[in-house]
Amino acid sequence: MIGIFDSGVGGISVWKELYGLMPNQDFVYVADSAYCPYGQKSAGEIIERAKKISEFLINKNADVIVVACNTATAAAIKYLRSHFSVSFVGMEPAIKPAAAESTSGIVGVLATAGTFKGSLYLNTLTKFASNVKVIELTGDGLVELVESGKTYGEEVESLLKKYINPIIDAGADQLVLGCTHYPFLVEAIKKISNNTLTIINPALAVAHQTQKIINEINIKPTKNMGTSIFISTGSVNTMKMLVHNINHNISEQNFIMQNI
């Protein structure tokens, strides 16, 4: 079984890619919506939540756990790998492909404050972005919009313009999505930018890395043949909507509210 968790519903954008690659694997997804957003929380708080959720997923027999949250990856992935024996896959800042593909030499990154402060992001920036100018914008309020089920419309576009317009005005041609909630805003971003930005979502690369680990440890699909269970520490309403937009065949019984 592959465990997945995020501060909320954003990691469903990662589940989508995982499920697309490995539809016969079982997944348990945990949205920590009762504690969302993680962006303004301390590293200690995020580590404690990541620890509890990982223990929960391991008790559900997870063979691999995907930390489908950039902020949680930045704060907690080293701790998780040092305290648990299962394999963990985190979100990688997609600076390398953005820098390589940019023709203007200017790259925009939209992320949370926690991601920008993380050593993983800073190391990636130093290693791969020395030849480009990077415009960093903290997308305050965007996670909350997605959590409330708002992924398009006037309110979404109004807030996005605050972050996207400075990136466009700076001459960027690449936009790195540094939060798993943001892929649900791609259509609104395309509208605002008039499709002038190449939008880079690292979710597919994370799914490929997870598949590689599954193959290396020789985990076979179970007799359940591809069951996905979605658990939330808060409301499941937005999660249902987003999952059903991806796959209408997921049963209502696969959504559970549970304290963790």
For 20-31, give the DSSP string. Answer: HH-TTS-EEEEE
Residue 21's pLDDT band (cuts 50, 70, 90):
very high
Average pLDDT of span 149-177: 96
CATH architecture of 2-91+204-257: 3-Layer(aba) Sandwich (3.40)
**Among all residues, which ones are annotated catalytic?**
69, 179
Mean pLDDT of 176-181: 96
Give the N- to C-terminal CA distance of the chain in Å, as an integer: 19
pLDDT tier for residue 19 given thresholds of 50, 70 and 90: very high
Q: Which residues contact 228 (CB under 8 A, 6 or more apart)?
A: 15, 19, 26, 27, 28, 29, 243, 250, 254
pLDDT band at residue 218, thresholds of 50, 70 and 90?
A: confident
Query: CATH code for 95-201?
Result: 3.40.50.1860
Task: Give me the percent of the chain exceeding a pLDDT of 90.
Answer: 87
Average pLDDT, the chain: 94
Which residue spans of the chain are classified as CATH 3.40.50.1860?
Answer: 2-91+204-257, 95-201
Mean pLDDT, range 18-40, rounded to an integer = 94
| Residue type (1 letter), 212 | K
pLDDT at 50: 98
Q: Residue 22's pLDDT is what?
A: 93
H/E segment holding residue 190: helix 186-193
What is the structure's pLDDT at 221?
59
Over range 64-83, report the average pLDDT.
96
Note the pTM of the prediction, 2 decimals: 0.93
Q: What is the pLDDT of residue 163?
A: 97
Q: Is the pLDDT of residue 260 over 70?
A: yes
How far apart CA 57 and CA 28 sit, in angstroms, is 8
